[in-house]
Amino acid sequence: MTSFFNPFSLPILFLSILSFLSLTAHAADPYLLSYVCENTTFSASDSIYQSNLNSLLSSFSSNANVDFFATTRGSDTSEPVYGLFNCRGDLTSQDCRDCVNAAVKEITNNCSTQKVAIIWYETCVLRYSNRSFFSTVDEKPMIGMLNVQDVTDPNKFNQLLNASLIELLVKLAKETSNVPTGANKFGTKQVNMTNQTLYSLVQCTPDLSGTDCNNCLQDAIKILPSCCSGKQGGRIVFPSCNLRYELYQFYETVATVPPPSPGKDEISPAIIIAIVVTFAASVLLVILAYCLLRRRAKKKSKAINEESPKQSDGLLNYHAANEITTVESLQFDFGTIEAATNKFSDDNKIGEGGFGKVYKGVLLEGKKVAVKRLSTKSLQGLEEFKNEVILIAKLQHRNLVRLLGWGIEGEEKLLVYEFMPNKSLDSFIFDSERLLDWKTSYTIISGIARGLQYLHEDSRLKIIHRDLKPSNVLLDHDMVAKISDFGMARIFSENQNIANTKRVVGTYGYMAPEYAMEGVFSVKSDVFGFGVILLEIISGKKNSGFYLTEHAQTLLAYAWRLWCEGKVLEFVDNSLMESCWTSEIVRCIHIGLLCVQENPQDRPTISTVIVLLGSESIVLPQPKHPAFSLDRFVQIDEFSVNELSFSSIVPQ
């Protein structure tokens, strides 16, 4: 086998050697949690099944030097038995072997005549069945366990725990599920609370896909509050995944490696020291080389930005701006688009704003499209146009509008999208003859959240939309919400969480205060816009221009006042009250207020929002005073972006 040397793996190898130098004895005997033997017994006549089962269990013992093993004994015509075991990701090979052997012995003693069985230990799970369950999410049978220890201040502690735990587990589940199918899907995290440290662990069986793993863990997260609310620790255990949290560290921070196999020559201390020194020197050289390249890249980037200041504030860097050539296959001939829209006839116009006009079109093959014809006076210039083409061409999600193509001729810049027969969300929620019932509204809210989750966490790129508002949420024939208009979007690097800009773009009423005042934006900026939309859907009122009403200066101020006065149902549009569950709509208002809190750190991530929307059993933290941006800004330097009037703004 050819071996390849990767210099960037040196730090990991170095840690492995340090672990090898500090080996300790393996843990105590495995601790049994529970087992379930399904009531499907087989008799002496099923000797083939018994033989296959015995062979399967024997194979578990002989393959327990790995943390995951799945196999089948028998065939479709000879009573097949399917089985697997999975050890916790922080175990040594010896600890895994001990747990699997204990599980084989226990399940043989207690489930020897059952065709289906599963057994959970503290550090491993083992199961078998007469049906194939590989690569399938199974959530039954389930066990929930809790730490019965009391806390000093239950009310304060529970509030901290609920706020930190759900956020932590959602993030950990996402990170863990992102590893490829077949890889070890195991993760741990810790977070510091007030005078406490919260430790958490999640794991899926490696045969699950990333999506199935995440779905399994999200379902476990939803159940956790009803199982373990108010306790110092708890866990939910499914056949396919499990999670646990405690106020003490119950897992190994760094998994150790097994000792040398019997019969092998031991490595002398001198050789080990030589290897460590060699690796350390190599790591140092790699770091120095990396720093040198990084410095050169920064100089080059600075020079490019000085040449093109507008471009430096756009979505893509200098090199990425040239990527438009990679989407040439999506280019439409201008004449084709002109013919499809009947030469951009007013009869085909379906929308208009500061960016330009939108036309309905029909291509030669009969396919309906929407054509955005950018205005030559629009601030969405060539760079924003390139942004939208390059970005949307890479994004594919049910809740994002799909770009079909683009075209350029002279000053004409055209974008061709899938046609949305129900137009945009604002045409429904702000209509005096509102047509949306609560079920449809709730589905739209959830769809917007899932689209944002894809942009923030699930796509290959971390994307901040920066202009989320009802007119940028389109609705297809089934009223499925699709986020559109990515001309103002920004791409973040994998480890980047926050950025700032001197060029604030977007729409007043939906811009987070830290962005409007200081040009600072992050995923929490989009969460703020989502919260405003959620409150607009429920109230049927616009946040922008709300100061002209008799209720309050902003929609957020009005919602907050009613919330504090215990009159929150007065906030709900009358047409929704006829079709909604009161508890559900009050919970959505609560979530909306959490999203529009002034401090971005207090706002939940969009993944947390999705979990909160999907489970009524999770206790919501109390919202803090929302951002009343119009109370705190003065307006100067008006300019026009999209269909509204905007201003540069500074704090009073």
How do residues 260-272 score in pLDDT, each as one tens digit?
444 444 455 666 6
Q: What is the mean pLDDT of the chain?
A: 77
Same domain membership, residue 162 and residue 118: no
Question: Which residues face 185 on adjacent strands?
Answer: 204
**Tens of pLDDT, residues 112-160:** 888 899 999 999 999 999 889 998 999 989 888 887 665 556 566 666 6
Q: Is residue 257 part of a domain?
A: no
Share above pLDDT 70 across residues of the chain, in percent, rounded to a whole number: 73
What pLDDT score does 505 carry? Answer: 72
Residue 4 lies in a domain: no
- pLDDT at position 400 is 93
CATH number, domain with residue 214: 3.30.430.20
Q: What is the mean pLDDT of residues 172-198?
A: 83
In this prediction, residue 177 carries a pLDDT of 81
Whether 167 and 109 map to the same domain: the answer is no
**Residue 577 is assigned to a structural domain of this protein:** yes
The whole-angstrom separation of Cα 49 and Cα 211 is 33
pLDDT: which is higher, 548 or 490: 490
Q: Does 369 have pLDDT greater than 90?
A: yes
Look at strands 368-374 and 490-492 and give their pairing: unpaired
Clarify whether residues 280 and 236 are in a common domain.
Answer: no
pLDDT of res. 154: 58
Is the pLDDT at 317 greater than 60, yes or no? no
Q: How far apart are CA 203 and CA 186, in angstroms?
A: 4
**Single residue among 352, 387, 418 that ends a domain in this structure:** 418
Report percent pLDDT > 90 for the chain. 31
- Same domain flag for 159 and 116: no
Domain check: are 564 and 644 in the same one? yes
- For the ranges 245-254, 326-335, 381-390, the one whose mean pLDDT is highest: 245-254
pLDDT at res. 635? 33
Kindly give the interhelix angle for 606-614 and 523-539, rounded to the nearest 10 degrees.
Answer: 40
pLDDT value at 297 more than 80: no
Question: Do both 104 and 170 map to the same domain?
Answer: no
Number of domains in the chain: 5
State mean pLDDT over 214-228. 86
pLDDT at 320 exceeding the cut of 50: no
Q: How confident is the model at residue 550 (pLDDT cuts 50, 70, 90)?
A: low
Q: What phi and psi, each to the nearest 5 degrees, are found at residue 68?
A: -145, 135
> Are 302 and 234 in a shared domain?
no
The answer to whether 105 is a known ligand-binding residue is no
Query: Which domain, by its residues, includes 155?
Result: 143-246
**Whether 438 and 389 share a structural domain:** no
Residue 199, strand partner residues: 190, 246
Q: Which two tokens stand for residue 93?
A: 């090979």
Catalytic residue among 467, 485, 526, 573: 467
Mark whether 302 and 335 lie in a shared domain. Answer: no
- Same domain for 603 and 476: yes
Last residue of a domain, one of 378, 397, 418: 418
Residue 526's alpha-carbon distances to 430, 442, 483, 603, 611, in angstroms, are 21, 19, 12, 10, 17
CB 402 within 8 A of CB 329: no
Residue 74 lies in a domain: yes
In a domain, residue 265? The reply is no
Instruction: With cut-offs at 50, 70 and 90, classify the pLDDT of residue 328.
Output: low
pLDDT of residue 120: 95
C-beta separation of 112 from 51 below 8 A: no
Contacts 24+ apart (CB under 8 A), 335-343: 336/363, 336/364, 336/407, 337/361, 337/371, 337/407, 337/414, 337/416, 339/364, 340/364, 340/369, 340/371, 341/371
CA 573, CA 541: separation in Å to the nearest integer?
8
| 289 and 217 inside one domain | no
In this predicted structure, the answer to whether residue 483 has a pLDDT above a threshold of 50 is yes
Q: What is the pLDDT of residue 222?
A: 87
Return the pLDDT at 31.
87
CATH number of domain containing 323 = 3.30.200.20
76 is annotated as an active-site residue: no
Task: Over range 568-597, report the average pLDDT.
Answer: 90
Q: Report residue 327's pLDDT band, with 50, 70 and 90 as the boundaries.
A: low
Q: What is the average pLDDT across 469-485?
A: 92
Where among 391, 418, 445 does a domain terminate?
A: 418
